Amino acid sequence: MALFSLLVAIIVERLKLLPARWQLDSGLRWYQKQMFTDSQLGTVGGMILALLLPAVTVAVALWVANGWFWGLPSLLLWVALAVVCFSHQYQRRLFKRYVQAACRGDVQASFHFAGELDCSECLDAVSERELGSRVGQSVAWLNYRYYGAVALFLILFGPVGAVFYCSVRFFDERRQRLGKEWPVVHTLLYWLDWLPARIIGFGYVLCGHFSNAFPRWCQLALSLDSKPREIVTEVALAAETLPEDEDVPVSVQSTLALLALSKRNSTLLITILSLLTIFGLVS
């Protein structure tokens, strides 16, 4: 079910078939506003409850659906949850606007959309070329955060794991955007990202220039103190030769190169999952 659900989710996301109000982040925003106040989220117990409740609800739904009608309700739940976890049209719109602004030479708009694209890092670029490199790294990171990591949690832990990861990611991003001091969530997300970031980073090694990327991956991945974002972005940068194409704006060249690398990495992940499914190692 993991492979089928993942393929359906990718197709739906690429075709932009899921309305914004049905995407997981929209549902989590409603859930946060209806269920928890800022003061409740400021306590350890309140935050843990907010993080666990969506995953527990999914676990109960899967348990109730298990065994009915030859497994069809379970399959539909797997597919539906994979689709809502993988649909992120807001980030796609921002990236498209960044590329459009860069192509028409609007430097100010390019910096604005680049800053909106990734709230986890300040894009302190000083030139258009550096901006392209930094946005390319952000694209690699966002591809990991919104697709690669979610896919790994779906494969290893099913929809419960995917929803739990997405919930922790959502609350950590809300904490950053709102400037809140919510406990637990940032540290928990760091540890949830610890192993997947190293796995996705090694995928970049295999998809790019192995001789350049592998030493960098070893240096970062074998260090217990390396941050997940640093591993993903630095290895991606080492794995891809940044082009100089006169027909493409300077601030887009590196971005598109790292985006292509991320797509190859996603293809590699699906290929490996297919092989694991064929050999019966993944259901």
pTM for the structure as a whole: 0.90
Question: What's the pLDDT band for 123 if we cut at 50, 70, 90?
Answer: low
Both tokens of 21, joined, read: 């109000």
CB contact at 8 A, 134 and 114: yes
Percentage of the chain lying above the pLDDT 90 cut: 40
Q: Determine the average pLDDT of the residues in 142-166.
A: 92
CB contact at 8 A, 8 and 77: no
Phi/psi at 72 (5° precision): -65, -45
Whose tokens are 């220039």? That residue is 209
Comparing CA positions, the residue from 48, 25, 47 lying closest to residue 38 is 47
CB contact at 8 A, 207 and 239: yes
**Number of residues written out for the chain:** 283
| Average pLDDT score over the chain | 85
Q: What does the pLDDT read at residue 15?
A: 82
State the DSSP string of 183-196.
SSHHHHHHHHHHHH
Decide: residue 59, CB within 10 A, 0-12 exposed, 13-18 middle, 19+ buried.
middle
Q: What is the pLDDT of residues 168-199, one digit of tens each?
A: 999 998 998 888 889 999 999 999 999 999 99
